[in-house]
Amino acid sequence: MHTIGMPERHVPDIVVARLPLYLRALSALQLEGHAFISSKALGERLGIGPAQIRKDLSLFGDFGRQGKGYEVSVLLARLREILNIAHEWLMVLVGAGHLGSAVANYSGFAQRGFRLVAVFDNDPQRIGARIGEHVVRPASEMEQFVRAHSIRLAMIAVPASAAQAVADVLVHAGVRGILNYAPVTLNVPPGVRVENIDPVLHLQHMTYYLGEDGDEAIVSS
Amino acid sequence: MHTIGMPERHVPDIVVARLPLYLRALSALQLEGHAFISSKALGERLGIGPAQIRKDLSLFGDFGRQGKGYEVSVLLARLREILNIAHEWLMVLVGAGHLGSAVANYSGFAQRGFRLVAVFDNDPQRIGARIGEHVVRPASEMEQFVRAHSIRLAMIAVPASAAQAVADVLVHAGVRGILNYAPVTLNVPPGVRVENIDPVLHLQHMTYYLGEDGDEAIVSS
């Protein structure tokens, strides 16, 4: 049993979703040399109300100091603990096409604690090719690799028609979190998390508010 | 004043966010030859409860047919109208590095009604280079281009340190929706929408639930 880093009470998922945003902003503030930050200043950076920030963070403890705000380094360390990213995570990527290649080359993962350790594809034309620092491995080796290295996180960047089958193999091998770039909803058993990245869904979310020709933005949401 | 496609009552943003998911699933169902779909079957595909789906859609009208469920083509057409994507949107992309190149090459935008019409960068090494069907244009021409073509949507794939300045120029020129790939929160005036794509935020959201070593998934959220 772990106790450090485990939530002590039920935290709404919408609050959990904001914690990485706080972490990202606090990391930037630390780089800029700030030792303390008020909930007001943090809120202005994030477009989130200061009361909401105080409420969110109070679920995990008492971090603020009267009159000085939050101590950036302390809050950063605690957020990393809460999000279970105090240590590095290993990931695999499935799919080495245009999108997969871009994902494999993205330096932000390693900088922020997520290390891509293998790239898989089932296309003979791609197997053996270099992508960044990786040599593309045959998809047939994926299950064994995931098991052997106790991989818990995977990214899927294959065509929509292939994504569910890939997810099934990954989950069977022990993966518990999938970042899904394929434009399809994956079905996974309880205990497995999926987060989706489909830019078109975001664009359509925005055009709802923009009106037919983009000239009639509805301000409130 | 437009009336078609404008919401008739206040719709919570969390419902708006689900509409593109419904659209995506219904498009797939149509391709598979389904003429009707029940809220139960649609819900199973999406991992969303059927009652939630019925409630969401009832905000926009009465689409279900007793015993037959939703007529796929009718619901698709109505969703496209509601999301203001019955016509094609034009977009620009700022940033022609690794990530920007992948974004520019992504075929899913055009297939789903969003046409990339120009790519900008301020790096002399990149200006003039070809990315897919685009020749990278100098960032200095961005404002004029956006105005001349009444562009309302833009994608930003520049380093975090440059993203806010790019957003300011775009908004000043008339952009009302920004898909932001830079790992930083953008400040924009009321009436401008920003959606963010930062894969690390999604990974951190998942690791919260996975426990310290990924072996203790918390099933509920």
Cα–Cα nearest to A131, from B129, B98, B199: B98
Partnered with residue A153 across adjacent β-strands are A91, A177
Tell me the per-residue pLDDT of B39-72, one tens digit each, with 9 for 90 and over: 999 999 998 999 999 999 999 888 777 778 899 9
Please tell me the distance in Å from A21's CA to the nearest CA on chain B: 7
pLDDT at residue A155, rounded to an integer? 98
Better pLDDT: A99 or B84: B84
* E-strand stretches of A18-126: 36-37, 64-65, 69-71, 89-94, 114-121
> Residues A72, A34: contact at Cβ < 8 Å?
yes
Instruction: Tell me if chain B has a CB within 8 Å of the CB of A26.
Output: no
B38 has a pLDDT exceeding 60:
yes
Tell me the per-residue pLDDT of A113-148, one tens digit each, with 9 for 90 and over: 999 999 999 999 999 999 989 999 999 999 999 999
The SS3 assignment for A137 reads strand
Burial class (CB in 10 A: 0-12, 13-18, 19+), B192: buried
CB contact under 8 A, A199 and B105: no
pLDDT at residue A215, rounded to an integer? 62
Instruction: Tell me if chain A has a CB within 8 Å of the CB of B108.
Output: yes
Enumerate the residues of chain A whose CB falls inside 8 A of the CB of residue B24. 183-185, 198, 200-201
Distance CA B182, CA B162 (A): 9
Distance CA A138, CA A130 (A): 13
pLDDT at residue B132, rounded to an integer? 86
- Strand B69-71 relative to strand B64-65, pairing: antiparallel
> Residues B128, B135: contact at Cβ < 8 Å?
yes
For the residues A77-93, what does the mean pLDDT come to? 95
Residues 85-104 in A contacting B (C-alpha not used; CB under 8 Å): 85-87, 89, 91, 98-99, 101-103
Tell me the per-residue pLDDT of B160-198, one tens digit each, with 9 for 90 and over: 999 999 999 999 999 999 999 999 999 999 999 999 999
Enumerate the residues of chain A whose CB falls inside 8 A of the CB of residue B105. 98
Scan for tokens 């099934």, then name that residue: A168
A202 has a pLDDT exceeding 70:
yes
pLDDT at residue A118, rounded to an integer? 98
Instruction: Tell me if chain A has a CB within 8 Å of the CB of B211.
Output: yes
pLDDT at residue A121, rounded to an integer? 98
**DSSP character at residue A220:** -
For the residues A188-216, what does the mean pLDDT come to? 89
CB contact under 8 A, B84 and A187: no
Domains and CATH numbers, chain B: 13-82 (1.10.10.10), 89-201 (3.40.50.720)
Q: Which residues contact A118 (CB under 8 A, 6 or more apart)?
A: A92, A93, A134, A137, A145
Scan for tokens 């400040």, then name that residue: B187
Q: What percent of chain A has pLDDT over 70?
A: 92
pLDDT at residue A211, rounded to an integer? 83
A9 has a pLDDT exceeding 80:
no
Tell me the per-residue pLDDT of B86-144, one tens digit each, with 9 for 90 and over: 999 999 999 999 889 888 988 889 989 999 999 999 999 999 999 989 999 999 999 99
User: Which secondary-structure segment (H or E) carries A178?
Assistant: strand A177-180
Tell me the per-residue pLDDT of A42-52, one tens digit each, with 9 for 90 and over: 999 998 999 99
For the residues A96-108, what does the mean pLDDT come to? 87
pLDDT at residue B218, rounded to an integer? 44
pTM: 0.84
Tell me the per-residue pLDDT of A16-55, one tens digit each, with 9 for 90 and over: 999 999 999 999 999 999 999 999 999 999 989 999 999 9
Please tell me the distance in Å from A138's CA to the nearest CA on chain B: 23
pLDDT at residue B2, rounded to an integer? 41
Enumerate the residues of chain A whose CB falls inside 8 A of the CB of residue B82. 208
Partnered with residue B115 across adjacent β-strands are B90
ipTM of the complex: 0.90
* Sequential DSSP letters for chain B: ---TTS-SS---HHHHHHHHHHHHHHHHHHHTT-SEE-HHHHHHHHT--HHHHHHHHHTT---EETTTEEEHHHHHHHHHHHTT-SSPEEEEEE--SHHHHHHHH-THHHHTTEEEEEEEE--TTTTT-EETTEEPEEGGGHHHHHHHTT--EEEE-S-HHHHHHHHHHHHHHT--EEEE-SSSPPP--TT-EEEE--HHHHHHHHHHHH-SSSS------
Q: 3-state DSSP: chain A helix, strand, coil percent, rounded to 5?
A: 45, 20, 40
pLDDT at residue A184, rounded to an integer? 93
Distance CA B160, CA B95 (A): 11
B5 has a pLDDT exceeding 80:
no
The SS3 assignment for A36 reads strand
Cα–Cα nearest to B78, from B98, B92, B64: B64
pLDDT at residue A216, rounded to an integer? 54
The one-letter amino acid at A109: F
Q: For residue A200, give the chain B residue with the closest CA.
A: B109
pLDDT band (50, 70, 90) for residue B4: very low
Cα–Cα nearest to B179, from B60, B4, B20: B20
